[in-house]
Amino acid sequence: MSNDWIESYIRAGKAVKAAKKVAVNLIKPGVPFLEIANKCEEEILNHGCELSFPINMSLDEIAAHYSPSIDDSTIVPNKGLLKIDIGSHHDGYIADSAITFNINNDETLQNIIDAAQEALEA
């Protein structure tokens, strides 16, 4: 029996990991959402994978599933919670990961992130 499916999962996971690193390096106030999404998507493609779904970039009260459109002018604000969800696939085998950014390390927002993490671990 072939283990090609395992290699596909690993490849998809590495593409998502690389795209998350791109996002981490770009998240700064004033950077357009579209620029971040495009560069993350490009990174996935450069790893020989495809997108599982458009890059999701959800700010503050938007819990999930906001993707910048081609004419989107949204930029990273000076303060807020930005959630980014990235998914890739290789031959249909999917990897998906999300990360939450506390823009400018606001203490109140960090408490929200910490509470969510504690709930996950409970």
- In the chain, which stretches have pLDDT less than 50? none
Structural domain harbouring 97: 4-121
Cα dihedral 5, 39, 72, 88, rounded to 10, equals 10
Please give the Cα distance from 15 to 81 (Å, whole number). 24
Q: How far apart are CA 115 and CA 66, in angstroms?
A: 23
pLDDT on residue 3 = 87
How many domains are there within the chain? Answer: 1
Say what the pLDDT of residue 60 is: 93
pTM tops 0.85, yes or no = yes
CATH number, domain with residue 13: 3.90.230.10
Q: What's the pLDDT score for residue 2?
A: 76
